[in-house]
Structure 1
Amino acid sequence: MARAGLGSRRRCEELIEDGLVLVNGETADLGRRVDPEVDRIEVDGVAVSVRSGLVHYLLNKPAGVISTAADTHGRPTVVELVPAEPRVVPVGRLDADTEGLLLLTNDGDLTHRLTHPSFGVEKEYLAEVEGHPSRGALRRLREGVELDDGVTAPAQASLLAPNLLRLVIHEGRNRQVRRMCDAVGHPVVRLVRSRIGPLTDRTLKPGEWRVLDQAEVRALERAASASSTDGRPEGRR
């Protein structure tokens, strides 16, 4: 737990003594041995990744780069922009033309919680669109838009400039933001993801990446701490 950034060894002992630590759903006792590769550890209701060797990268994906580990057409991929070892995968996907923040990690548990639709982790996008969206178009985005795979969940939508939308969604449908904007009559010209849950970073230039610190990983874990139900993974934006 100390290695996972939850505090000093003494602080971690206090968390255990206070009954705030669960191992596989049972209250932990001081001195109990756990296998971080197998056992599920929760602190104050939030699952914690304590396995050794976990890495979490935040990348500012440029346009034209594919959100996959390999591409049969030889196009550049996001994994080529971060260290080759240990092997990581993108958490969800941004389509080739979409820019902005993307997580890459070898933390399978956190990846599942961030991409599973039941957790509803917010993603914020800045969309430059054709035309000038009206109040009616914003209202439709906020209330839900009819797409070919059903009505979208309500989104946060605001106008930052005559043709610049800020959209916050928590679903994971394929190319959802682009399809929503198409549905209200304002096709996307440029799309940038500016936030993933609590994470944002305006200092990263396109193609740059950095390692998340433990506080940021914990913030992501808290954002994705809701109970899970069956669902589909995050699609491309």
Structure 2
Amino acid sequence: MYKRLNKYISDTGHCSRREADKLIESKRVKVNGNSPELGTKIGPEDKVTVDGKLINAVAEDKSDRVYIAYNKPVGITCTTERKVQGNIIDAISYKQRIFPIGRLDKPSEGLILLTSDGDIVNKILRAENAHEKHYRVIVDKLVTDSFIQGMSNGVPILDTVTKPCEVRRAGKFGFDIILTQGLNRQIRRMCEYFGFAVTRLTRKRIMHIDLKGLKPGAYRHLSAEEMKVMNKALEGSSKTVVQ
């Protein structure tokens, strides 16, 4: 079975497809000793190297891929750039190369998934796949009925209007919100529209995976049952990469 070179590299967990394209363009990738073009397709017999190091193909049954749930503390940055102080890769210090699925702002905390499986990254990130993310938010003012209603109905930010979503009060200064979008700093911008400032933001759940039993700064591997449910939920999802 043949696959595009950037997908071949991404599937191994070495980097994202976009980053793989940059490696190819900068001539750091060789296929059978030669510099390939973007869009080159790779077969089982081909040898791929990055900076002279052999990149081995992933197992077809995904048995060699890693799936991790991490409780990100405030101050950790969701980047694979090791030069960035407080990057998530150094924070976890996992033995195998992994990368985060999406991101969680540096001032925010809670659940983020990491993996070496490029296909799952792309499927989960597709907004139209409508995979839920549950957040607990604390703000600087008393939460009112009108605020809850306004957040639920959709808020004009970033030249668009957010999708209607489920919002529930959680104490005098808090609320729970369930999103299927992932706009840049979406919850903070939504709150700012109504004159509220977020003082604490915690992601508690992604799809069916939650933070239960996971202390801040700790990670765990997804269970077989969690993977079974995830794969079932992603069966109809697009693999198109989010730009």
Tell me whether the two structures share a fold, i.e. TM-score over 0.5: yes
Offset of 1:52 from its aligned partner?
2.9
TM-score if structure 2 supplies the norm length?
A: 0.71
CA distance in 1, matches of 2:240, 2:63: 28
Offset of 1:229 from its aligned partner?
8.2
8 Å CA contact retained: 1:87, 1:106: yes
Match among 65, 87, 107 for residue 54 of structure 1: 65
Q: Which runs of 5+ in 2 are unaligned?
A: 1-43, 45-56
> Letter of the aligned partner of 2:219 in structure 1?
W
Name the structure 1 match of 2:180: 170
8 Å CA contact retained: 1:118, 1:226: no
Offset of 1:206 from its aligned partner?
0.9
> Letter of the aligned partner of 1:137 in structure 2?
F
Q: Deviations over 1:131-164 (max 9, x none)?
A: 1121111111111011133000011101110101
Name the structure 1 match of 2:143: 133
Match among 52, 62, 67 for residue 78 of structure 2: 67
Residues 67-106 of structure 1 correspond to what in structure 2 (within 5 A)?
67-72=78-83, 74-106=84-116
103-112 or 214-223, which deviates more: 214-223
What is the aligned residue count? 188
Name the structure 1 match of 2:21: none
Distance 1:198 1:139, change over 3 A: same
8 Å CA contact retained: 1:125, 1:191: yes
Distance 1:75 1:204, change over 3 A: same
CA distance in 2, matches of 1:87, 1:225: 25
- Larger RCO (alpha carbons 8 Å, 6+ apart): 1
CA distance in 2, matches of 1:227, 1:158: 28
Residues 144-183 of structure 1 correspond to what in structure 2 (within 5 A)?
144-183=154-193
Distance 1:172 1:213, change over 3 A: same
TM-score if structure 1 supplies the norm length?
A: 0.73
- Pairwise CA RMSD of aligned residues? 2.1
8 Å CA contact retained: 1:117, 1:172: yes
Percent of aligned pairs sharing the same letter: 31
8 Å CA contact retained: 1:128, 1:165: yes
Q: Which runs of 5+ in 1 are unaligned?
A: 1-34, 40-48
Residues 112-131 of structure 1 correspond to what in structure 2 (within 5 A)?
112-131=122-141
Offset of 1:207 from its aligned partner?
0.5
8 Å CA contact retained: 1:131, 1:163: yes
Offset of 1:84 from its aligned partner?
3.3
8 Å CA contact retained: 2:132, 2:206: yes
8 Å CA contact retained: 1:118, 1:231: no
Offset of 1:215 from its aligned partner?
1.0
Q: Secondary structure at the match of 1:58?
A: strand
Q: Secondary structure at the match of 2:170?
A: strand
CA distance in 1, matches of 2:98, 2:128: 23
Distance 1:230 1:209, change over 3 A: closer
Distance 1:59 1:85, change over 3 A: same
